[in-house]
């Protein structure tokens, strides 16, 4: 599509962001409330030469992404909680083989089948800890249609740059939201690094990202989820190889947090605040409206918006906690991010948890903040 302003839903924006980023393979299975992403991709891929595959289930979907990525394609899928659960074993395989893929998770109420059409933010811990072992991922939390577009592009860029699974953690409300967004004329796109003959699974740097060849380019490739050395040979009984591999998978993300983690600060330039709201995703829209309303009355409140969920913005949380009496965390779950904040905050953390399938209204957040002021 041509650069310019469009009136899109969040789901439509994801599809356009993926195409802009260079995605040309989509493997998916329809699941509410993410199906509109798949529908638009299926239509738009006819125009851009992409390959769309509706798989038999979510297990096949995520595995097909891994294969497409090693064939040289930028690959993605979109799903929701029950589908994401089925993808977890393959997600660990993608992390251990350093396969860049993008997963858009349009979260809905759980557990189990839950409420298929209702809103929640219940999958935040699952995307990080759902597969066994130690590994890192990158996950973004957009709050607008514009950010659904922008962070889909960024998820592809980060997946390619760090050779890691990357997530767009939307909610039903953000995916079905409709508002104006802008497609810029110039968009920064990152493509994976290739270096013929180089080891595809190790570098000289302990936190380095190896170059990634594709099948069919003349490289001798071994891709295994078992412990492996730099050229992919299994070393499943070697403690030194295991330690080096897992350490690098961890450090290649954690040592580059300053380049990955993004937050937004609102009204945090005062020396001492009474309450700082830490919020993310769609709930941050209600939070900011409420903060601005309370500040118009002279209340000493501010807000920190988490645009990146993984790696977690621990430094930003610790910094704001040094300048406020209380941190208030409203969530559409039972406190998944609040638990992380408590681990790093130096001030009291107060939570509000809503899991009834409705968005958290500004009036609800206002009532809770007034209660603790």
pLDDT of residue 230: 97
Q: Which stretches of 124-282 are assigned E, i.e. beta strand? A: 138-140, 165-171, 178-183, 263-266, 273-279
pLDDT of residue 271: 87
Q: What confidence tens digit (pLDDT) does each residue in 298-341 have?
A: 999 999 999 999 999 999 999 999 999 999 999 999 999 999 99
d(CA 98, CA 118): 34
pLDDT of residue 256: 98
Q: Which of 88, 102, 79, 96 is nearest to 24 (CA)?
A: 102
pLDDT of residue 203: 96
What mean pLDDT comes out for the span 40-53?
97
- pTM for the whole thing? 0.97
pLDDT of residue 1: 87
What mean pLDDT comes out for the span 222-251?
97
Q: What confidence tens digit (pLDDT) does each residue in 186-211 have?
A: 999 999 999 999 999 999 999 999 99
Tokens 């000493």, residue located: 300
Residue 367 has pLDDT above 90, yes or no: yes
pLDDT of residue 108: 98
Q: What confidence tens digit (pLDDT) does each residue in 117-144 have?
A: 999 999 999 999 999 999 999 999 999 9
What mean pLDDT comes out for the span 253-278?
97
**CA angle centred on 116, ends 114 and 120, rounded to 5°:** 75
CB 303 within 8 A of CB 277: yes
Q: What confidence tens digit (pLDDT) does each residue in 51-92 have?
A: 999 999 999 999 999 999 999 999 999 999 999 999 999 999
Residue 279 has pLDDT above 90, yes or no: yes
Domains and CATH numbers, the chain: 4-183 (3.40.50.970), 265-372 (3.40.50.920)
Residue 115, strand partner residues = 109
CB 9 within 8 A of CB 37: no
d(CA 1, CA 3): 7
What mean pLDDT comes out for the span 95-111?
98
CB 222 within 8 A of CB 233: yes
What mean pLDDT comes out for the span 277-291?
98
Q: Which stretches of the chain are assigned E, i.e. beta strand? A: 4-9, 23-28, 51-54, 74-79, 101-109, 115-119, 138-140, 165-171, 178-183, 263-266, 273-279, 301-306, 308-310, 324-331, 348-353
| Band of pLDDT at residue 180, cut at 50, 70 and 90 | very high
pLDDT of residue 34: 98
CA 197 remoteness from chain centre: 32
Residue 26 has pLDDT above 90, yes or no: yes
How confident is the prediction for the chain on average, in pLDDT? 97
Tokens 């409206």, residue located: 289
């Amino acid at each position: 599509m041509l650069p310019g302003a469009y009136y899109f839903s969040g789901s439509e924006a994801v599809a356009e962001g993926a195409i802009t980023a260079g995605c040309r393979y989509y493997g998916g299975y329809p699941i509410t409330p993410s199906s509109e992403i798949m529908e638009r991709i299926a239509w738009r891929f006819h125009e851009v030469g992409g390959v769309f595959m509706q798989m038999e289930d979510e297990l096949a979907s995520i595995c097909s992404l891994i294969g497409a990525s090693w064939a040289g394609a930028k690959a993605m899928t979109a799903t929701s909680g029950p589908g994401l659960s089925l993808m977890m074993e393959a997600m660990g395989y993608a992390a251990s083989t350093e396969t860049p893929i993008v997963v858009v998770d349009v979260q809905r109420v759980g557990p189990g089948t839950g409420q298929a059409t209702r809103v929640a933010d219940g999958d935040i811990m699952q995307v990080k800890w759902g597969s066994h072992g130690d590994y890192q991922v990158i996950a973004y939390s957009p709050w607008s249609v514009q950010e659904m577009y922008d962070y889909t592009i960024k998820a592809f860029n980060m997946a390619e740059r760090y050779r890691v699974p990357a997530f767009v953690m939307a909610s039903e409300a953000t995916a079905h939201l409709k508002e104006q967004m802008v497609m810029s004329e110039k968009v920064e796109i990152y493509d994976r690094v290739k270096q013929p003959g180089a080891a595809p699974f190790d570098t000289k740097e302990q936190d380095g990202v190896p170059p990634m060849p594709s099948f069919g380019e003349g490289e001798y490739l071994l891709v295994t989820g078992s412990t492996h050395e730099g050229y992919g040979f299994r070393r499943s009984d070697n403690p030194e190889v295991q330690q080096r591999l897992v350490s690098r998978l961890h450090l290649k993300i954690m040592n580059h947090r300053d380049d990955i983690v993004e937050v937004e600060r609102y009204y945090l330039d005062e020396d001492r605040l009474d309450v700082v709201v830490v919020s993310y995703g769609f709930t941050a829209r209600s939070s900011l409206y409420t903060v601005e309303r309370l500040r118009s009355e002279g209340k000493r409140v501010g807000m920190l918006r988490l645009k990146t969920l993984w790696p977690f913005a621990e430094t930003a949380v610790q910094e704001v906690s040094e300048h406020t009496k209380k941190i208030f965390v409203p969530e559409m779950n039972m406190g998944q991010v609040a638990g992380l904040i408590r681990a790093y905050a130096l001030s009291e953390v107060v939570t509000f948890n809503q899991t009834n399938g409705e968005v958290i209204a500004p009036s609800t957040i206002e009532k809770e903040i007034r209660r603790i002021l």
